[in-house]
Structure 1
């Protein structure tokens, strides 16, 4: 008997990218996955260098591409290093999480 293969969504790219050193503050964080994700059960926590949580908007998916999770960053980020702790639930209900860092103004 052969069972269907089950895969988990993989983070393919991010903007700002992992270890990115941008001069300006991003207005949103965009995560691109290998399969569609459910925005209602997905999102991220953004933390500054001191570990303080930075406010972000609600996660949504791109209406034309359910593999793209978009989280608004409503206020400009101060210079420094930030950690993105993300979590997603794929359309086939697999849960995955990860993290990466990026810097602003360095």
Structure 2
């Protein structure tokens, strides 16, 4: 066997492995604004940045108010918000339909990329 055939035999499986790994990459949350567990003034938008380009028709988020100052028995309440993708394809933007009141919030997100496997997660923050 020639040296070039031997090199090809060694490199071909490595290249195939790299290609298949890239094809099955799941999106992961890289950053959020506001950041998880932060205390902030009411944001006009919430941005989630992912590692992969999202398939927007299968990705989304819910904004939930989980607590309100002075109301210890306050149950969870879904906040009306628009969810959209940004131009880079990797950013999800949540825009509340009205300003957020003081309280605790959670964003439950679902991200789907080209591998079609959904990945879910959440961030929390407090509006002062």
Answer whether TM exceeds 0.5 for this pair: yes
How far does the alpha carbon of each residue in 1:11-67 deviate from its partner, in whole angstroms, 9 at most, with x for none?
Answer: 000111101100x2111111000010022211111111231111111x22112x111
In structure 1, distance between residues paired with 2:125 and 2:56: 23
Aligned residues of 2:25 and 2:115 also touching (Cα < 8 A) = no
Provide Cα deviations, 1:51-101, integer angstroms capped at 9, x if missing partner: 1111111x22112x1111112112111111101111111133221100121
Q: What is the distance in 2 between the residues matched to 1:53 and 1:19?
A: 19
- Unaligned stretches of 5+ in structure 2? 1-12, 68-74
Indicate conservation of the 8 Å contact 1:38/1:61, yes or no.
no
Q: Which consecutive residues of structure 1, in runs of 5 or more, have no partner in the other structure?
A: none
The answer for the alignment partner of 2:8 in structure 1 is none
Match of 2:49 in 1: 32
Tell me which protein shows more strand as a share of its residues. 1
Between Structure 1 and Structure 2, the one with more helix by share is: 2
TM-score, normalised via structure 2 length? 0.73
Query: How many corresponding residue pairs?
Result: 102
User: Which runs of structure 1 show a deviation greater than 4 angstroms over 4 or more consecutive aligned residues?
Assistant: none
Aligned counterparts, 1:1-106, within 5 A: 2-3=16-17, 4-5=20-21, 6-22=24-40, 24-48=41-65, 49=67, 50-57=75-82, 59-63=83-87, 65-105=88-128
Return the index of the structure with the highest Cα Rg. Answer: 2
* Structural RMSD (CA): 1.4
